[in-house]
Amino acid sequence: MTSNNKPTIIFYGPLGGKLGKIIGGGESGNKRTVEILSALGYPLIKLEKPYPPGTGNKLRKGVTYGLRLSVAYARLIGLFLKVKGPKNLHVTGFYEHLIYKEWLLIRTAKLFGVHTIYEIRAGGLVEGYRERGKIYRYFFDQTVKNAGVVLIQGSVYKAFLEGISPNIPVFHYPNFIMNRFYADYKDNDRSATAHLSLVYFGRITPSKNVEFIVDICAKLHGLHPTFSMDIIGDGDENYLKLLHKKILDFNLTNQVRILPPLGTEALFDQLTRKHFFVFPSREKREGHSNALTEAMNAGVLPIVSDAGFNRSIVQNDDMVIEQYDASAYAQKIAQIAKDDQWSSYSKQVHQIVGLLYTENAVRETLNIAHSLNVQK
């Protein structure tokens, strides 16, 4: 397919708001996708998914958000009418309470003869499908059946979606890092030191189970006292106070620090000096964590819960702790250090990122998804 007959892509999803300052996993993932599509030579129009208003009473916020969604829908129809030649609609979907809007977008595109790519982000898809009622399941099924291609963050969803619509192409499109951030492996003398450097970075929230990390550190202190733990990120002021108090109560002030967010380069520099990424998330909709991929890229060994796609990402059951048991996490970290396994595991996780979770690894999947309609 030459650049002359490539379809124009209308990209619908959250991209950071008017000022581009709202940055979460969805926004950062969408920006990477847009960058790749542009590099592949597709003409691209960004139609940002509206954000709910942050202030006002519940009724006013609901009405305002509904109006914003309606305006975005009207703009989409206008683009369908205005843009000449072949066009695709790429929808980044979060289903659950948004499935009705996503169904409307996909169904409208089909009525206009527009090829659609429905990119299913985050986790909790199967659980949400089973827990919600018949109406929800009907709209979810119809959204999938009317899409041209479905992209999934977690490969574990492929069989489930093919059961809903066997004829729809379903491709694994995981979170990834851009090629420029995939670096050669560096040990940085990490394997030669007895001092273990632990890290968590990302949102500091109860759903990420950050207070549990302090419990792990308290247990690790009795097994391998020469360690330090950096918790890097932003969080609610009250939750941060709870963490500081817990660190103080466990007498861990010399070993556990809470640090503000770091820029990309500064964070990567820090990661290349860390041994373990501790990630005991309880997030109900944990998907493919950007932080997990970034840690693995630096050779930081992840010790994770079984939430979301963690197990399939790390590809090593030794790194997955099924119970929320602080002693189990601490014992795993101490055992890997004692058995001198850290170096080989570290190289393995870095290699996994290079094979599966870089721009190079996903570029062709994205290109195929947007080319299928042209090939028909």
Q: Is the pLDDT of residue 230 over 90?
A: yes
Task: Answer yes or no: are the C-beta atoms of 279 and 289 closer than 8 Å.
Answer: yes
Averaged pLDDT for residues 185-193: 94
Instruction: List pLDDT tens digits, range 111-136.
Output: 999 999 999 988 888 888 998 999 99
pLDDT the model gives residue 59 = 82
The average confidence (pLDDT) of the chain is 92
Q: Quick: pLDDT tens for 276-315.
A: 999 999 988 788 999 999 999 999 999 999 998 999 999 9
Per-residue confidence band for 22, with pLDDT thresholds at 50, 70 and 90? low
User: What is residue 201's three-state secondary structure?
Assistant: strand
User: In sequence order, what DSSP letters do the residues of 161-179 get, joined into one string?
Assistant: HHHH-TTS-EEE----B-G
Q: Report whether 94 contacts 122 (CB < 8 A).
A: yes
Q: Model confidence at 3, in pLDDT bands (50, 70, 90)? A: low
What is the predicted pLDDT for the residue at 4? 62
Helix (H, G, I), strand (E, B) or coil at 194: coil
Going by C-alpha positions, the residue among 244, 254, 304 that lies closest to residue 278 is 304
User: How many whole angstroms separate alpha carbon 20 and alpha carbon 27?
Assistant: 9
> Of the candidates 24, 47, 12, which has an alpha carbon nearest to the alpha carbon of residue 119?
12
Residue tagged 């542009």 (tokens): 38
Task: Kindly report, residue by residue over 317-342, the tens digit of the pLDDT.
Answer: 999 999 999 999 999 999 999 999 99
In the DSSP assignment, the letter for residue 52 is P
- 8 A C-beta contact, residue 289 and residue 300: no
- Are 208 and 243 in contact by the 8 Å Cβ rule? The answer is no
- pLDDT value for 375: 41
Q: Can you tell me the distance from the alpha carbon of 72 to that of 49, in angstroms, rounded to the nearest whole number?
A: 7
CA 165 vs CA 57, 107, 140: distances in Å:
41, 15, 11
What's the pLDDT at 28?
A: 85
> How would residue 255 be classed by pLDDT, with cut points 50, 70 and 90?
very high
So what's the pLDDT on residue 87? 95
| CA dihedral (317, 321, 323, 328) positive or negative | positive
- What pLDDT, in 10s, does the model give residues 55-103? 777 888 888 888 999 999 999 999 999 999 999 999 998 888 889 999 9
| pLDDT above 70 as % of the chain | 96
Copy the structure tokens of residue 337: 């250090």
Average pLDDT over residues 146-153: 95
Cβ neighbors of 20 (< 8 A, separation 6 or more) are: none
**pLDDT at 19 exceeding the cut of 80:** no
Show Cβ contacts of residue 176 under 8 Å, excluding neighbours closer than 6 positions: 32, 293, 357, 358, 359, 361, 362
Backbone Cα Rg of the chain: 22
